[in-house]
Structure 1
Amino acid sequence: MTPPRNSNVARDIAYALHPYTDHKAHLKDGPLVIGRGKGVRVFDEQGKEYIESVAGLWCASLGFDNERLVEAAAAQMRKLPFYHSFTAKSHEPLIDLSEMLIERAPVPMSKVFFANSGSEANDSAIKMIWYMNNAIGRPEKKKIIARLKGYHGITIAAASLTGLPANHKLFDLPLPGFHHVGTPHHYHNAQPGETEEQFATRLAEELEQKILAEGPETVAAFWAEPIMGAGGVILPPETYFPKIQAVLKKYDVLFVVDEVICGFWRTGNYWGTQTFGIEPDILVCAKALSASYLPISAVMVNEKVFQGIAEGSSSIGTWGHGFTYSGHPVPAAVAIETLKIYDEMDIGAHVKKVGAYMQAQLRARFADHPMVGEVRGTGLIGAVELVEDKAAKKNFDPAKKVGPRLTKIGEANGVILRAMTNDVLGFSPPLIITEAEVDEMFDRVAKSIDEIAVTVRRESISAV
């Protein structure tokens, strides 16, 4: 049915350009327009209710109706609705939030820089590293290594870090100087009979050979998410990060940990770095920093990095980087309140309890399904990977669009799903989700998977 000309659907089709969208299909199908939210649920304009299985974009950690965050924003708007942090200006929310993050850092950190998104934060970290190496007399040490299937954002440099084809095709990316090593996914990439530890050893050797091939004097930093998010919720194999970190220290390569998804209890610890025993030189965070009620991100740097920035800014007279909204007082105030809520709720204990339940239910409900190849996750992040051939670990042809079709079935069944590369369904519900809500969410997911399985089976029979 064609929507009325003045409907929100019609106006969206007429005027809006959406991220990560097939725009020819969008002109035909239009958007799902969300009108309001409550707890772990959102409601469309017609009042239909959906459980948000991915907390929006991995980020609405406190759900969709936290009144304390609304009040924190309103109070700060009345007191100081805007001020900047350029040229040594500051304000109390920026100072308080900086102090709170340094106190909560997983390893000793020196300073915090604020941006507005994870992409901007990763871009900023790249510039910091280049600037630092120039300042301390290492102008050749600029190359960056990241990982295939890693995701670090969509600005030009952050998209170059990202190791996903869709983020490079037609954009003329990655930029020169950005390199990628293998994906640490044992399920698909291990050799026959190779244990997780043996696989991790091979990946560390691959990284070392890449550094040696490029020249250690030219390699500045290595980027990694504790758990790969948009690449498919890929957990590192046992001993992976300690072995990777040993290589980086051997060749004086900085380790930048992208905690945009994993930070603030998602994995069951405050930071994903703590879950996997990582010691970052730079830590990037966003999303759950403010429960995503307002845009804000942060880059924490250790003393070594800060001293390089300080040296360069002294010689030039300024550090020529920053955004109009870096440390904006209103998002900063909301982030402060968010961190207080996490502490007061003891959200970590809740995630450990409900996360263990979610992981058990993921495996109990889906691991033996004939269309599911692997179930994986920890804490309140997980994934179900759909396959055409379970024994061969063979994924569906992308042209069949099994994942995208499944998300539409999910919407009909009252659950918002996220389908990623290789038809992986990712789960990262709001941290406040209860065990009963996990059951309800997976009931709807199971119904949806069963429906797509019937459809795919019929299509296979018809093709014979």
Structure 2
Amino acid sequence: MESAAAGLASDLHRADRNYFFHPFTALGDHERNGPLVITGGKGVWLDDDRGNRYIDSMAGLWCVNAGYGRPEIAAAIHEQALKLPYYHAFASMSNEASIRLAQQLVEMSPVPMSKVFFGNSGSDANDTQIKLVWYYNEARGLPAKKKIIARDRGYHGVTLATAGLTGLKGLHNGFGLPLPFIRHTTAPHRLWQAEPGQSDAGFVARLAGDLERLILAEGPETVGAMIVEPVMGAGGVIVPPPGYYDAIQKVLDKYDVLMIADEVICGFGRLGKTFGTEALGMKPDLVTIAKGVTSAYVPLSASLVSEKVWRAIVAGSDRLGVFGHGFTYSGHPVAAAAALANLALIEKEGLVEQAGKRGALMHQLLRETFADHPAVGEVRGMGLMGAVEFVARRDPAQRFDPALKVAGRIARAALGHGLITRALPEGDSIAFSPPFVISEAEVAEMVERARRAVDQVFAELKAEGQWKG
């Protein structure tokens, strides 16, 4: 006889397949196999509706930085919802939580910023940045400077505009993207982009040269901005070589092109510094934040705007009329209250410093555990953000047949070992980006479970004749 709990689980799985349209999901597989229903979480651990427990090595989607089940954040949400659950920010309307948060974000920014425009997700915040670049150049009398340069393998969102900025073909297929104003340049990915034996300095010079040639080919008078993640996330956890951002900045300055730093993943401690911009010595004109600002307890994003850009926008508004952009939920008081509580918690517990220390341990253990595996092409990352990439052959590096879906198989196998990891698109990498509250013992357990999943999958591939070992 089916237990009440099993019956509920069965009903949930059936209802999910019948009604829930999932993002970034193989839809046919989902119709056949159904969901993994998560029912609770504490710290770095998650529970499902069938009694299984998992270490969440991805902090959700790179975002639950303070860990699951933090009463301080829940209490702030509850208190604000009782006091003022909502009010809009149009026509000079405001609320205390959003005012306090905007002030704190400007004050903690690693490069001088002037104003904060609130949104709901990293996607819409980057969409806002595009419009701000266009408005800025329109106000300066340079309306042709509308092209935005992103990088191959970069991830910047899924709106009509930002999905095109994202340099991953899976976000373009079937949608007719990218839109015509978007261009892409080379990713700073040594494994696949550097020439054999090329030094970091030589690789950086080539990357900066690629960018300059692209700007010149398009016409500098048509290029408005370049958008970059400090460390690239979904595209493979790609850390640029030393000197990269200095070289890129010189090219952008030369042709009057703004830099947008997409800090959606790196911001608020992921790299062991409060911002990736700080960790990598960047000098952006605009900064995008989301995810870690609330540890994902409530959706919130923001576009931080430098004084240079702000003054041009104000001047443009005086001429063009009311600034015609914003969202119903811009400056939502409950989201702002959650962010304030989350940032206070991160500071009180020293979680940025802890992320750096746990990250150092994680990278040490990943190298010790995987570097000698014959199918591991690279172990890479920075701070509490890492990846292991698998290759069919190491020297020279050769990719697996994409049809084998090696990283996807490893991610699925990991579930059976009580670990949630993620197979990153357009390659065979698995990622590690756990909550900052992870203990040293949990880091070791996370890496050990990942190795067991890898060993399982490569044993299967060998038995299938797909890998010689």
1:363 alignment partner, SS class: helix
Amino acid at match of 2:453: S
Where does residue 427 of structure 1 map in the other structure? 432
CA distance in 2, matches of 1:91, 1:9: 41
Please, what TM-score do these two structures have when normalized by structure 1? 0.98
CA distance in 2, matches of 1:243, 1:17: 43
Q: Which aligned runs of 4 or more in structure 1 are off by greater than 4 angstroms?
A: 2-6
Question: Are 1:161 and 2:202 matched, yes or no?
Answer: no
Amino acid at match of 1:431: F
Where does residue 263 of structure 1 map in the other structure? 267
Q: What is the CA deviation profile of residues 272-317 of structure 1, one whole-angstrom value per residue up to 9, with x for unaligned ones? A: 1111110110000100000000000011010111112112222232
2:180 alignment partner, SS class: coil
Question: Are 1:378 and 2:398 matched, yes or no?
Answer: no
C-alpha displacement of 1:462? 9.6
C-alpha displacement of 1:392? 2.5
Question: Are 1:342 and 2:325 matched, yes or no?
Answer: no
Where does residue 148 of structure 1 map in the other structure? 152
1:304 alignment partner, SS class: helix
CA distance in 1, matches of 2:380, 2:408: 20
Where does residue 358 of structure 1 map in the other structure? 362
2:90 alignment partner, SS class: coil
CA distance in 2, matches of 1:167, 1:350: 34
CA distance in 2, matches of 1:161, 1:308: 24
Amino acid at match of 2:433: S
Amino acid at match of 2:456: E
Where does residue 42 of structure 1 map in the other structure? 46
Where does residue 210 of structure 2 map in the other structure? 206
C-alpha displacement of 1:373? 0.8
**Correspondence list, 1:26-105, <5 A:** 26-105=30-109
Where does residue 256 of structure 2 map in the other structure? 252
C-alpha displacement of 1:69? 0.4
Amino acid at match of 2:119: A
2:91 alignment partner, SS class: coil
Amino acid at match of 1:299: S
Structure 2: runs of 5+ lacking an equivalent:
none
Is the CA contact 1:4–1:10 (under 8 Å) kept in the aligned structure 2? no
Where does residue 390 of structure 1 map in the other structure? 394
C-alpha displacement of 1:407? 1.3
Question: Are 1:456 and 2:446 matched, yes or no?
Answer: no
Please, what TM-score do these two structures have when normalized by structure 2? 0.97
Selected match of 1:230 from 231, 234, 251 = 234
Where does residue 323 of structure 2 map in the other structure? 319
Amino acid at match of 1:23: L
Is the CA contact 2:458–2:467 (under 8 Å) kept in the aligned structure 1? no
CA distance in 1, matches of 2:465, 2:315: 64
Amino acid at match of 1:429: P
CA distance in 2, matches of 1:80, 1:403: 46
1:390 alignment partner, SS class: coil
CA distance in 1, matches of 2:218, 2:375: 42
CA distance in 2, matches of 1:4, 1:404: 29
Is the CA contact 1:403–1:423 (under 8 Å) kept in the aligned structure 2? yes
C-alpha displacement of 1:131? 1.1
C-alpha displacement of 1:35? 0.6
Give the fraction of aligned pairs with identical amino acids, expressed as a percent. 48
**Correspondence list, 1:112-191, <5 A:** 112-191=116-195
CA distance in 1, matches of 2:192, 2:217: 26
C-alpha displacement of 1:425? 0.4
Is the CA contact 1:225–1:259 (under 8 Å) kept in the aligned structure 2? yes
Is the CA contact 1:290–1:296 (under 8 Å) kept in the aligned structure 2? yes
Where does residue 444 of structure 1 map in the other structure? 449
CA distance in 2, matches of 1:102, 1:40: 30
2:303 alignment partner, SS class: strand
1:156 alignment partner, SS class: coil
Residues paired across the two proteins, number: 462
Where does residue 11 of structure 2 map in the other structure? 7
RMSD: 1.4
C-alpha displacement of 1:359? 1.2
Is the CA contact 2:116–2:305 (under 8 Å) kept in the aligned structure 1? yes
2:99 alignment partner, SS class: helix
CA distance in 2, matches of 1:317, 1:390: 59
Q: Which moved more, 1:386-395 or 1:170-179?
A: 386-395
1:422 alignment partner, SS class: coil
C-alpha displacement of 1:32? 0.5
1:425 alignment partner, SS class: strand
1:223 alignment partner, SS class: strand
Is the CA contact 2:153–2:167 (under 8 Å) kept in the aligned structure 1? yes
Question: Are 1:279 and 2:283 matched, yes or no?
Answer: yes
CA distance in 1, matches of 2:117, 2:51: 41
Is the CA contact 2:461–2:467 (under 8 Å) kept in the aligned structure 1? no
Cα gap change, 1:351 to 1:4, in 2 (>3 Å): closer
Is the CA contact 2:121–2:300 (under 8 Å) kept in the aligned structure 1? yes
CA distance in 1, matches of 2:288, 2:381: 21
